[in-house]
């Protein structure tokens, strides 16, 4: 009898504690965040830079994400189905074939505001600057040979400082200029890239006024359809605006003339380092996310600027650790998405993403504190969660993508800290 009782007790305990492991599969399907770990690509450091992928603007049913891997450099595109599951659309294109042997840190990854094109701007293997662009597959778009004196004595270095897509006025030497083309900044020089440059035509290059150190570039669309170029000066921290015409004017034989910023910029408090960003919000506002060079410090800065007055709007955030930023517009408002890859979560330096609310048509809301914080629910040390952030179109909505060490997080649904939706479920069938 004692034996039977013991057996029954064991059976009862087992039935109470027995588990259906498929519950975890079900729960995994209920998460708001799709995590994609490093696929079978050659890069050992997957996700050093991300941006929205090709076709993202064209598709109303899914989204794509462009991902750069390092060691060696690769280009990948992750495609997301309407239900949120992911697959590789471009599987680890090896960039060494394009002469890109060692990626800059961070590499400059751009997405065209008007087309599906993606562009990578980085240092090439022979002392050159490579602009590789394309849809799904990158190709050599422009190659700037280093240590070359262009035009009237404009000498260029081999490492790009900043880049952005601009839509310049038609270049007179060609019949039809492309819609948007990346331009690259090196020191105080802007280098233009144009498809189909006539043979033997010298690369367009303009030297900006001496004393300007370009650390971030942006573009603002003018009424006429052309763009002005925004420069965040690493010398005095001022935001400068140049008519893109100067880019065209600095060609061939004409000496490069320094162009004063107009109107004069206000005086921001932060001197940006390499990798600082100018994210376009609309035709009148840009989001400036600056940070010191890694070798100099960890200070960082966040501020919305009015590009018409070149004055800051709203509150600013000055704190350590902000390394990437993106602008997010949802049904609930406008937000600045900022990555802090070195942030500490519950004692673990796993990194996090802070989301700041913008006032309608204005800058950072007062107080300028995060309205939401994203981080890995199980952070790991040196995960560098948020080392690159992007806002990706998905089924007609915008969702946040966050890069971490060899892992990409796609937030199809997010809440604010107060529990209200940042944006509701964006996937189908949920």
Partner 1 sequence: MRSRVAFVVGMVVFALATGPALGQPAGALTKAQSAFDQAQLDYLQGKYDDAARGFVDAFAARQFPQFLYNAGASYHMKGKQTSDPEAYQKAVDAYTEYLKKDPQAADKAKVEKAIGVLEAEIKRLKDQPATEPAAGTGSAAPPPVAPSQEVQQLGEVKPRGLIVIESDPSNATIYLDDKRKGAFATTPWSGSLEGDHKVIIEKRGYTVIEKPVSADPSKLLVLLASMSQQSFLGWVEVSSNVPGADIFIDDKAVGAVGRTPLSQNIKPGKHTFWISADGYDEYKQEIEVIPNETHAIKAQLKGSPVGKLNVTGIGIEDATIIVDGKTLCERGPCLKSLQQGDHTVSVQRPGFKPYTKQITIQAKTETQVRITLAPNPSRSDAIVAYVLAAGFGGGGVFLGLQANKYRDDLKKEIAAGHPPPDSNDPRFTKGKIFAIAADATFVVAGITALTAVYYTFREKGAPSAGLIDVRALALRPEIGPGYAGIGMGVSW
User: Given the complex with partner 1, which of 11 and 269 has the nearer CB atom?
Assistant: 11
CB of 413 to partner 1, least distance (A): 7
Query: Does residue 33 touch partner 1 according to CB under 8 A?
Result: yes
Which 301-330 residues touch partner 1, going by CB under 8 A?
Answer: none
Q: Is 17 in the site for partner 1 (CB under 8 A)?
A: yes
Contact stretch for partner 1 (CB under 8 A) within 29-37, 243-251, 297-305, 306-314: 29-37
Task: Kindly indicate which of the ranges 23-31, 181-189, 204-212, 319-327 contains the residues binding partner 1, using the contact rule CB under 8 A.
Answer: 23-31
Q: Which of 126, 420 has the CB closer to partner 1? A: 420
Which residue, 149 or 420, has its beta carbon nearer to partner 1?
A: 420
| Residue 284 engages partner 1 in binding (rule: CB under 8 A) | no
Are 314 and 344 within 8 A, CB to CB?
Answer: no
Number of residues that bind partner 1 (CB under 8 A): 41
Out of 1, 5, 27, 153, point to the residue binding partner 1 (CB under 8 A): 27
Q: Which of 108, 102, 109, 93 is nearest to 127 (CA)?
A: 102
Is 10 near partner 1 (CB under 8 A)? Answer: yes
The residues, any chain, with a CB within 8 Å of residue 379's CB and separated by 6 or more, are 345, 346, 348, 350, 351, 385
Question: What is the DSSP secondary structure assignment for residue 99, as one 8-state letter?
Answer: T
Q: Which of 1, 25, 40, 175 binds partner 1 (CB under 8 A)?
A: 25
Beta bridge partner(s), residue 304: 287, 313
Peptide bond into 263 cis (omega under 30): yes
- Strand-pairing partners, residue 287, are 279, 304
327: its two tokens: 């602008």
- Sequence-ordered alpha helix ranges (H) in 226-384: 245-249
What x/- string results for residues 36 through 75 when contact with partner 1 is judged by CB under 8 A?
A: xx--------------------------------------
For residue 16, report the phi and psi dihedrals to the nearest 5 degrees. -70, -40
Nearer of residues 419 and 429 to partner 1, judged by Cβ: 419
What residues contact 221, with CB distance under 8 A and at least 6 apart?
A: 167, 227, 283
**3-state SS, residue 23:** helix
Q: Is 223 in the site for partner 1 (CB under 8 A)?
A: no
CB of 144 or CB of 409, closer to partner 1: 409
Position 397 contacts partner 1 (CB under 8 A): no
Q: Which is nearer to partner 1, 20 or 253 (CB)?
A: 20
Measuring CA to CA, which residue among 338, 333, 325, 354 is closest to residue 423? Answer: 333
Is position 3 an interface residue for partner 1 (rule: CB under 8 A)? Answer: yes
Nearer to partner 1 by Cβ, of 252 and 420: the residue is: 420
Does residue 377 belong to the site contacting partner 1 (CB under 8 A)?
Answer: yes
Is position 374 an interface residue for partner 1 (rule: CB under 8 A)? yes
295 burial type by CB count under 10 A (0-12 exposed, 13-18 middle, 19+ buried): exposed
HSE at residue 318, side-chain half, CA atoms within 13 A, is: 7
Beta strands in 38-161 (DSSP E): 45-52, 63-70, 74-80, 86-94, 108-111, 118-123, 128-134, 139-145, 149-150, 154-155
CB of 334 to partner 1, least distance (A): 21
Q: Which residues bind partner 1 (CB under 8 A)?
A: 3, 6-7, 10-11, 13-14, 16-21, 23-25, 27-37, 373-378, 407, 409, 411, 413-415, 417, 419
């Amino acid at each position: 009898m004692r034996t039977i009782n013991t057996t029954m007790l064991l059976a009862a305990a087992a039935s109470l504690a027995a588990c259906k492991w498929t519950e975890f599969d079900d729960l995994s399907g209920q998460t708001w965040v799709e995590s994609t770990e490093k696929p079978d690509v050659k890069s050992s450091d997957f996700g050093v830079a991300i941006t929205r992928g090709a076709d993202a603007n064209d598709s109303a049913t899914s989204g794509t994400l462009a991902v750069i891997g390092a060691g060696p450099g690769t280009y990948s595109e992750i495609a997301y189905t309407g239900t949120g599951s992911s697959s590789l659309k471009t599987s680890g294109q090896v960039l060494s074939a394009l002469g890109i042997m060692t990626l800059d840190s961070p590499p400059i990854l751009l997405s065209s505001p008007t087309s599906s094109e993606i562009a990578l701007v980085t240092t090439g293997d022979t002392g050159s600057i490579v602009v590789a662009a394309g849809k799904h597959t990158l190709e050599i778009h422009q190659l700037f040979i280093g240590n070359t004196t262009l035009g009237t004595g404009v000498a260029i270095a081999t490492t790009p400082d900043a880049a952005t897509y601009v839509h310049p006025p038609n270049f007179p030497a060609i019949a039809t200029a492309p819609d948007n083309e990346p331009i690259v900044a090196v020191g105080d020089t802007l280098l233009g890239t144009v498809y189909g440059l006539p043979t033997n035509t010298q690369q367009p290059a303009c030297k900006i006024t001496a004393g300007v150190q370009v650390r971030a570039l942006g573009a603002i669309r003018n009424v006429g359809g052309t763009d002005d170029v925004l420069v965040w000066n690493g010398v005095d921290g001022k935001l400068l605006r140049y008519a893109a015409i100067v880019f065209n004017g600095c060609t061939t034989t004409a000496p490069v003339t320094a162009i004063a910023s107009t109107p004069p910029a206000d005086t921001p408090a932060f001197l940006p380092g390499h990798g600082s960003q100018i994210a376009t919000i609309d035709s009148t506002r840009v989001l400036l996310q600056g940070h010191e060079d890694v070798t100099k410090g960890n200070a960082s800065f966040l501020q919305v600027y009015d590009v018409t007055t070149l004055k800051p709007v709203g509150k600013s955030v000055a704190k350590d650790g902000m390394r990437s930023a993106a602008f997010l517009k949802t049904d609930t408002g406008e937000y600045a998405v900022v990555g802090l890859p070195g942030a500490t979560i519950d004692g673990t330096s796993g990194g996090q993403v802070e989301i700041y609310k913008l006032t309608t048509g204005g800058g950072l809301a007062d107080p300028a504190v995060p309205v939401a914080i994203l981080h890995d629910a199980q952070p790991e040390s040196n995960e560098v969660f948020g080392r690159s952030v992007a806002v990706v179109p998905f089924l007609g909505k915008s969702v946040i993508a966050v890069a971490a060490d060899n892992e990409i997080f796609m937030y199809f649904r997010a809440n604010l800290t107060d529990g209200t939706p940042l944006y509701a479920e964006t996937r189908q069938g949920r």
